[in-house]
Amino acid sequence: MYLATTGRRSVPPAPSGARRRVSGTVLALGTVSLVTDVSSEMVTAVLPLYLVLGLGLTPLQFGFLDGLFTGATALVRLVGGHAADRGGHHKRVAGLGYALSACSRLGLLLAGGATGWIATALAADRLGKGIRTAPRDALITLDSPPDGLGRAFGVHRAMDTTGALLGPLAAFALLWATADAYDAVFVVSFCTGLLGVLLLVVLVPGGRRTPDAPAGSAHGHRGARPRTTWRELTTPLRLPAVRRVTLGAALLGAVTVGDAFLYLLLQHRTDLAATWFPFLPLGASAAYLLLAVPAGRLADRVGRGRPFLYGHGALLLALGLLLAPLPGPVLLVGVPVLLGVFYAATDGVLMALAGPLLPPARRASGLALVQTAQALAKVAAAAGFGAAWTLWGPTTALALAAAGLATALCCAVRLLRAGGPADPSGEHGGAATDPVPPTGPPQPTGRSEPVGMPQPVGPVGPVVPAAPAVPAGPAGPAQSADLPASSREREPS
C-alpha cells in the first residue's frame, strides 16, 4: 500500500491475489458463523417482544435481564481468550463455545415453557457465544495479512449476518408450516447448531496457533507458554495504543442504546402491529450484510478508527430520527438501515483496529479484553436506559442517550488521536509481537524518532510517514514502546 504523502511503499508489495482474496480459514469461519446464526436467530428474533409484551416485563426489568446476560458473556470472553492463548488451541476453545450454544437449543426444547429453564437456556447460549468470540476473531487476525484485516472481518461479518437474516425467515416459515409448533423451531435450531459445530471440525484448520516468542521478549524463551496470572491476562493493556482503543470502545459502549430497545422504541412510535415486530431486525441485517465488506475495505484504506467513529455517528442519527416528528414509514426504513450501518462500521472494524496492536501470543486474550470492556459498558448502558425509560418515559430517555452519545463521540475522537499511536491498519503497521520495547539495535521501522518530532495521527486516520530512523536514544512518547517492531505479515498456520 502507498503512504499518503510520499508515494513510496512501506512494505514489499503483496501479490495481487492476496489483496483480492481472504484466507480459507476466514471463509470457513464465516460458514460456521452463518450456520450458527441461523440456529440462534431462529429462537431470538421475538425475544424482546416476548419478554416485554408477552411476560409483561417493564423496560427496566428487560434492561437488567439483557444486561445480566451481556455481562456474563463479557466475563466469559476473558476465560475463552485466555484458554485459547494458553494452549494455542483457538479452534478447540471456539468449538466448545459453538457446542454449548447448540446444546442450549435442546434446553429450550426441554424447558416446556418454564421461565427459569428458558432463562437458563438463553444464558447458556450467551455463554457459548462469549467463549467462542475471542478465539474465533484471533484466528481471523492470525490467518490474515495485516493490510487486509478490515476486508477479512468484513467478509466474516457479512457471512455471519447472512445467517442472522435467514434465521428469522426460517423460523417464521416453520411456524407457518407447523401451525405455530414452537417445538419444531427448537428441534431444527438444535440440528442446525450441531451442523455448525461439525463444519468447524471439518473445515477450520487445527493445531497450535500461538507463535514462538522472540528472544529477549517479555514472554520468555522461545516456545514458552503464557503464564496464567491476572498480570499476564492484562499484559496487552500495558501498550498505550491498546489502552486508548479499549477506553474508547468502553466509553462509546457506555452510551450505546441496544438494538432491542431501538426496536421497542420504533414499535412504540409507529404503533406497529406485534405480528410485524419480528421483521424489524431483518432491515438492519440486510444493511449490515450489504455494507460489512465495503466498510472493512474502507477501514483498510483510511484507517480503522475513522469508520468506527462514523458508525457511532450513524447510531446517533438513528436516535435523532426517533426523536424527530417524522412519519412512520420513514422511521421504519431509516432506523433499521442506520442500525445496520452502525454494526457494519463498528463490529468487525473494532477487532481489525485492535488486532495488529496485540502480541500474537496474547491475541485472543487481548481481543477478549477489548470486547469485555465494551460489553460491560453496554451492561451499564442497558440498565441505565431501561431505568430512564421507566422513570421519565421513552422520549426523555432517548434524548439523554443522544446527548450522551454525542458527548462520548467528541471525547473518543480526542482519545484515539491522543499520543499518536501507530496506525493499526496494514498499510501503516503490522502485528505487535511484545508489550515491551525490544532490546538490541534499533530496527529501521520508521517509528523511532527523537522527542519533539511530529507524531503519527493514530487509528483515526492515515499516518504521516516519519523521519528516517535515528540512532538509539531516549524513546519518544509514541515510538516502539507503543507498538513494537515486527513482521508486517504472518503466514497462515
Nearest to 141, CA basis, from 412, 370, 417, 308 = 370
DSSP-derived secondary structure for 159-209: HHHHHHHHHHHHHHHHHHHTTS-HHHHHHHHHHHHHHHHHHHHHHS--S--
pLDDT (0 to 100) of residue 182: 72
Q: Which residues pair with 220 in a beta bridge?
A: 217
What are 410-458's pLDDT values in tens digits?
999 988 774 443 444 433 333 343 333 343 444 444 433 333 333 444 4
Q: Taking 70 as the threshold, does the pLDDT of residue 63 lie above it? A: no
What pLDDT, on the 0 to 100 scale, is given for residue 485? 33
Contacts with 187 (C-beta within 8 Å, 6 or more apart), sequence order: 109
Cell output for 464: 504521516
Backbone φ and ψ for 443, nearest 5 degrees, come out as -100, 145
Q: By the 8 A CB rule, do 394 and 265 touch?
A: yes
Kindly state the percentage of the chain with pLDDT values over 90: 23
Average pLDDT over all residues of the chain: 74
Q: Is the pLDDT of residue 32 over 90?
A: yes
Measured CA to CA, the distance from residue 173 to residue 167 in angstroms comes to: 10
Give 263-315 pLDDT, tens digit per residue: 888 888 888 877 677 778 888 888 998 999 999 989 888 888 889 999 999 99
**In angstroms, how far is the first alpha carbon of the chain from the final one?**
24
Residue reference for cell 535515528: 470
Distance CA 406, CA 364 (A): 31
Please give the Cα distance from 351 to 304 (Å, whole number).
9
Nearest alpha-carbon partner for 223 in 92, 89, 87: 87
pLDDT of 191 strictly over 50: yes
Task: State residue 2 phi and psi, 5-degree precision.
Answer: -90, 145
Query: 207: how many CB neighbours lie within 10 A of its CB?
Result: 10
CA distance 9 to 147: 13
Lowest pLDDT segment from 122-126, 318-322, 384-388: 122-126
* Per-residue confidence band for 209, with pLDDT thresholds at 50, 70 and 90: low
Highest-pLDDT range among 75-79, 84-88, 273-277, 313-317: 313-317
pLDDT over threshold 60, residue 317: yes
Q: What is the pTM of this model?
A: 0.69
pLDDT at 93 over 80: yes
pLDDT at 433: 37
d(CA 78, CA 55): 33
pLDDT at res. 130: 86
